[in-house]
Amino acid sequence: MKISLEQLVNTNYVKYDKMIEIVNAVYAKSNASTINIYIDMYSMIKSLYSNREYEINDYAALTACIINMCAHYREFFKTRYKTKSRFFIVYSKNCSYMNNQFYSEYNYKNLGMFNANKKIDDMVKNNIELLKTLCPYLDDIHFIPGTFETGVIIYDLMCRNELIDDSPHMIITKDKYNYQLATARNDVTILRPKKSNGEDMSYSISYNNLIFTYYNERNFKMKEPNMLSSALVSLIMTLSSVPERNIKSLFNISRTIKILNKAVKGFKIIDGYNSDTEVIWNGIYNDDFKIGYPTFENRFKAIDIRLQHSIFINTPEAKSIQFKNLVDPETVRSINNMYFKSTPLDLNRL
């Protein structure tokens, strides 16, 4: 049975009653009047490229679904919490040249899938152009395409937004790789949409529950107390695996945790974030861990979002990011009438 493109994208719409439960728990002490919301478009549409057939009746429907998702969340925060929202729709195929330099098979399966499905790829490209055309005229809804990892671009956007004000950040993604972002800045929450048998099972991930959530989603059951900080998640990924990016396993998670616990207990590494690969490698190299430094360094650099960001900020791609806020309802109505007759934009809630 075919499912529609709309059905696929709409799995990222978290129902309002579930959102209230999540927001009340995560932002109980917040008095913020604005929230920054980042939409990981790669996470939303990757499965379109799979062998499963999707019913696509309107090639502009992808743009409409994404913009209407912004309307869905904007209306929620406006009516339930009297809170303004800024949206950042971020898209990349996550097959960055830089990541590939550090790990030659980085995300190669998905790249092959993208290249093999020209029909879907052309549709996505057309919608990227539509988003580029439409978003500048929508109030605080920005579209940022790129070649670096979506997580790196989102991290950069969070850094920029923190120069403006102290509004909290919410990232909508299903991508385990991007769970790193829960440790990257203050007031960061990952909204993980999940539907099962018609029920909304969505949940949030923050610094406090990241490490346990990551273990659970990797089907790892703790047999002994965990003492590791959530800030070590990129290092855990480095020593174990990141199947979402075709990074093969060095050790299973159980052995990875033993190696890191031993290093932390012995004061060889800090129980927190450290980007100095030589310091980390010297701290964990022992009889249980005899991986050569070049292998370890390249894996960490291919995985760690903050380290990649230090490279990203000096690129033309980063310097070209602009936030246009032209806000022109008449132009939006004209675009809506021209491209979105079958799947209209939810203008009343935008």
Is residue 283 classed exposed, middle or buried when 0-12, 13-18 and 19+ CB atoms within 10 A define those classes? buried
What percent of the chain is modeled with pLDDT above 90? 80
pLDDT digits (tens, 9 = 90+) for 72-88: 999 999 999 999 999 99
List, as own/partner pairs, every contact residues 213-216 make where C-beta atoms lie below 8 angstroms and the sequence separation is at least 24, other chains included. 213/179, 214/176, 214/179, 215/253
Q: Which residues sit opposite 3 in a β-bridge?
A: 54
What percent of the chain is modeled with pLDDT above 70? 98
- Give the integer Cα–Cα distance in Å for 102 and 298: 5
Q: DSSP string of 35-53?
A: EEEEEEHHHHHGGGGSSS-
On whether the CB atoms of residues 281 and 300 are closer than 8 A, the answer is: no
Q: DSSP string of 148-182?
A: S-HHHHHHHHHHHHHHH----EEEE---GGGGGGG
Strands of the sheet containing 84-91, edge to edge, are 141-145, 84-91, 34-40, 169-172, 188-192, 203-205
On whether the CB atoms of residues 62 and 339 are closer than 8 A, the answer is: no
The whole-number pLDDT of residue 155 equals 97
- Give the integer Cα–Cα distance in Å for 21 and 27: 10
pLDDT digits (tens, 9 = 90+) for 91-144: 999 999 999 999 999 999 998 999 899 889 999 999 999 999 999 999 999 999
Domains of the chain, first to last: 3-209 (3.40.50), 215-306 (no CATH)
Give the pTM: 0.96
pLDDT digits (tens, 9 = 90+) for 143-171: 999 999 999 999 999 999 999 999 999 99
